[in-house]
Structure 1
């Protein structure tokens, strides 16, 4: 008589929780006091900078290449030729990617927004855009929440420039 052995995989008692879950709107709690808001903004800026520095270090360890014509990024020994470039075909490239060494902004492209120091609630004027600064959206929202401006963004935000009150005054300054 033959004996059958049945192997069963053990069933976990607690279901596995996914690593990344999205918080629903009902679970999210907004900061109540100005202190909490400023603390959250500072923590967010620190996390942003930590993520950028860590990514830069990893890019030094592993070969990261970006296409010069489309937004595709490739991590590994060499760029592939299996898929045509998403940019418009050019005769000299024949639809192939133009691989080049990637920079951090290829991996984590920042979304830049206008920064207008000292002007709250007024609409931006196209004629005065040379006086406005720019910052990544994450940095701008943290600064508006009360975080201190990081040194590496002070120059792009144009904190030392006064916005003219009119186009005529701007023309006189230029």
Structure 2
């Protein structure tokens, strides 16, 4: 087993160019990992339980009973179903903040903020170019009302 690195051994990028390059490289790795997992899911059957977070990779979901409370109405049996990539690699979505130094997010205006997986938002904030597949979810072309009165006037 490989020894774990100390935090002190990790060297942070020193220049803005290094930060942007690291962000671009991270986004490419994220997309490559998702694409590779999707291809493997076509080759090997993957099932997810509809009642608990358990995932099964192989020809058929097992019949072992689950201790989860949600399974009690099914006599403890899992409810196996086909899975999608987000079941295997669940993205943690965060609100897209156009200006990190701007005003804080307001809960009432959350419909005007875009969402993206946290790793994508991190890379965008670091200066990476936004991948095409995330442009629609990040709502970059939507104006955010500055007051609640302005929000009420939006049709």
* Both structures adopt the same fold (TM-score exceeding 0.5): yes
Name the CA distance, whole Å, in 1 between partners of 2:84 and 2:97: 28
2:34 corresponds to 1:62: no
Is 1:164 paired with 2:145? yes
5+ residue gaps in structure 1? 1-17
Point out the structure with max Rg over C-alpha: 1
Superposition RMSD on alpha carbons, in Å? 1.4
Q: In the TM superposition, what are the counterparts of 1:25-174 in structure 2 within 5 Å?
A: 25-84=7-66, 86-91=68-73, 93-118=74-99, 120-174=101-155
- 1:32 deviates by 0.9
Give the distance between the partners of 2:120 and 2:90, measured in 1 at CA: 13
Does the CA contact (< 8 Å) of 2:93 and 2:115 recur in 1?
yes
> Shift of the alpha carbon at 1:87?
4.7
Query: Deviations for 1:45-74, whole angstroms, at most 9, x for unmatched residues?
Result: 000000000000000000000011111100
Query: What is the deviation of 1:81?
Result: 1.3
Cα distance change on mapping 1:139 and 1:171 into 2, 3 Å? same
What is the deviation of 1:86?
2.6
Q: How far apart in 2 are the matches of 1:83 and 1:154?
A: 42
CA contact (8 A) 1:67 1:100 kept: yes
In structure 2, list runs of 5 or more residues that go unmatched.
Answer: none
* TM-score, L = length of structure 2: 0.94
Q: How many residues are aligned here?
A: 155
Distance 2:141 2:100 in 1: 14
* Higher helix content, 1 or 2: 2
